[in-house]
Structure 1
């Protein structure tokens, strides 16, 4: 299998990184452990960058990089760059640096891509009055979403409105990075236009497959980000896919109830959730939205002082030991304090 060197961007020479954390980040498996370690590694923005990546494919890509001596596996099953890997990264810098990865929470970029490409294909064929074409093969839910959208927005001006919206979008993207504008225009599927594949994107833009994958994910995040602030039929199509915040609605509800003064156990009881689930909600919110987290309430000064007496130095090196007899509660505060210390270091 050919090497796919984008994984080198997620690894470090000085810090071994857990292999499954990297995989979970790329495929958007958001456990608290994954989010915490991704934060420690500085790779949170890569959440969902390769949702379709299978375990087998990931393992093959890692194996190819290890065989090439660019990565090595440590005794505790961590991955780290070798000296050759560092040299490779320095001598062959990425052609493309993402601009919109911090917006990873906005939407599932594969769903955005499928619906926008199908919608444009429908409008393009409509513009040429062609009813006999093979529509893009997408899941039934996407077909129905585009069908419902088309029935709602179809009008004599639809073709002009969509093309004007795409021109505006391509212009906005090109101002951010010329590669984004080029990628959008050429990824579209329409009348007598097949649209570039990822491999063709890499070939035409003279970049590696690794860079093309990064660019493609960035493209659909960018499209989604602009759909939040532009008007038009395509923005209307995408708007239902856009998340209002980095955390789920259920997670937000838990945080709001606790910040209103309810005890964690009370929230669990009222929401009919396990206590562990409520704690996971709070830890997730602390990692993903630390600026909006009420630290004084959820980690009071007295609790912080107690934890500070037990844990010092590099947060990633701390080893948990229960102190009260309730290991689950102790671990919750241990992890929350780790997140708090990381937040403080990022603020300073």
Structure 2
């Protein structure tokens, strides 16, 4: 990869397309994990829901929209949306071969990888120091909840020394299943007896790797370790996932959908939840976005005939659909949220990618 491409530039290139203009503010909101209908809907349309909330894991890494445009990799449309140029597509393809990304998105959206990583690093430090009989050391600075979790985990151990040995064996086996780069990046961050570990920046410098290679290898590696710990409960790392599994949809959204499925009446749901009608329909749209196609009752709200009529009036390009462009006759029988629901259904039927929230 060219030395001129920063990690921020590389991230932006991963998020852009050469055929679908994308809105900068929506990309920022998606990475920040905002759960508005607009952010989630366009995240679905862009095929990027797997990136939702990624800013929380990467912390200081933020999108920079100026660098890539200055290098001729990205162009701006008349509506201030971004598209990749031919050079941008070529650079994007080179970046995608650095580290396999497939699979990490589902893990990131279903598991709290940030807290899993903090627990992992602290547990390894504690067990390493214990195995060498050292009680005088400075524990890693992690979230208070994770520090308390590891303290409880440790105090409940019957034989800390045996657990330390098993942890070592499990970790060696798990790291051995990763790519060489991912295994190296994860391993070199580990802190233990007479080993301070390295930061991602130090790892990049020591191996002459780019920041982007190291950042994505870290995410890929941690995601893989978490997935293995989830699938094999005999592993010493498996308990670290306690309380870290994320629901597919927001609990409040789930409650709204469950009430509708019980009463089959939006008015009844509104009365039960004491919410505005617009909040109820927002919940239903969010549920439709995040649930698999077959798990949402689309036909209760928008028929296939209505969707075909929308297509007849507005065409097949969903990104160009505007509710205001529909005929007055049609808008009198179809509210905006039903219109948006039809677009969600068509998107899910058309997308074949393995992104979070898609079939």
* TM tier relative to shorter chain: 0.7 to 0.9
| Aligned residue in 2 for 1:189 | 191
Tell whether 2:127 aligns with 1:123. Answer: yes
Residue of structure 2 in register with 1:106 after alignment: 110
Q: CA deviation at 1:113?
A: 1.4
Task: Report if aligned partners of 1:320, 1:331 keep a CA contact under 8 Å in 2.
Answer: yes
Q: 1:298 to 1:256 in 2, by over 3 A?
A: farther
**Cα distance, 1:304 vs structure 2:** 4.0
Alpha-carbon shift at residue 170 of structure 1 (Å): 4.7
Contact 2:115 2:146 in 1 (8 A): yes
| Residue 273 of structure 1: aligned partner | 275
Return closer, same or farther for 1:331/1:201 CA change in 2, 3 Å cut-off.
farther
Instruction: Quote the offset at 1:215 in angstroms.
Output: 2.0
Aligned to 1:336: 341
| Counterpart position of 1:14 | 19
1:226 to partner: Cα distance? 2.3
Q: Mind listing any 5+ residue stretches in structure 2 that lack a counterpart?
A: 353-358
Indicate how the Cα distance of structure 1 residues 51 and 159 shifts in structure 2: closer, same or farther if over 3 A, else same: same
Do the aligned partners of 1:94 and 1:211 also contact (CA within 8 Å) in 2?
Answer: no
Secondary structure at the residue paired with 2:109? coil
Contact 2:21-2:81 at 8 Å conserved across structures: yes
Partner residue, 1:312: 315
| Alpha-carbon separation, structure 1, partners of 2:16 and 2:89 | 10
What is the Cα-based RMSD across aligned positions, in Å? 2.9
Shift of 1:339: 0.3
Classify the secondary structure of the residue corresponding to 2:35: coil
CA distance in 2, matches of 1:309, 1:81: 30
Contact map agreement 1:17 1:80 (CA 8 A) in 2:
yes
Q: Residues 204 and 281 from structure 1, CA distance in 2 versus in 1: closer, same or farther, beyond 3 angstroms?
A: farther
1:296 aligns with 2:337: no
The Cα offsets for residues 223-257 of structure 1, whole Å up to 9 and x where unpaired, read as 322222222443213221112x3212222222222
Deviations 1:84-118, CA, capped at 9 Å, x for gaps: 32232345554112132222222332222112211
1:82 corresponds to: 85
d(CA) in 2 for partners of 1:250, 1:205:
46
TM-score, with length taken from structure 2: 0.83
- Stretch of structure 1 that moved more, 218-227 or 88-97: 88-97
Does the alignment pair 1:147 with 2:170?
A: no
1:325–1:22 distance in 2 versus 1, CA, 3 Å: same
Aligned pair 1:48/2:50, yes or no?
Answer: no
Q: Provide the C-alpha distance between the structure 2 equivalents of 1:324 and 1:173, rounded to a whole number of angstroms.
A: 61
Change (3 A) 1:57 1:205: closer
Change (3 A) 1:267 1:251: same
Q: TM-score, normalised by structure 1?
A: 0.86
Which of 253, 256, 260 is residue 254 of structure 1 equivalent to?
256
Distance (Å, rounded) in 1 between the aligned partners of 2:61 and 2:124 = 31
**CA distance change for structure 1 residues 109 and 236 in 2, over 3 Å: closer, same or farther?**
same
Q: Could you say what secondary structure the match of 1:284 adopts?
A: helix
Counterparts in 2 of 1:266 and 1:310: CA distance versus 1, 3 Å: farther
Query: Which residue in 1 is equivalent to 2:356?
Result: none
Aligned partner of 1:72 in structure 2 is 75
Q: Say if 1:252 and 1:166 are closer, same or farther in 2 by CA, change over 3 A.
A: farther
Structure 2 counterpart of 1:138: 142
Query: 1:93, 1:144 → 2: CA distance?
Result: 38
Distance (Å, rounded) in 2 between the aligned partners of 1:191 and 1:140: 22
Counterpart contact for 1:186–1:196, Cα < 8 Å: yes
C-alpha contact (below 8 Å) 1:121/1:135 kept by paired residues: yes
Q: Distance in 2 between matches of 1:324 and 1:144?
A: 61
Distance 2:228 2:283 in 1: 29
- Name the CA distance, whole Å, in 2 between partners of 1:264 and 1:29: 25
- Kindly tell me: are residues 92 and 315 of structure 1, through their superposed partners in 2, closer, same or farther at Cα, counting changes over 3 Å? closer
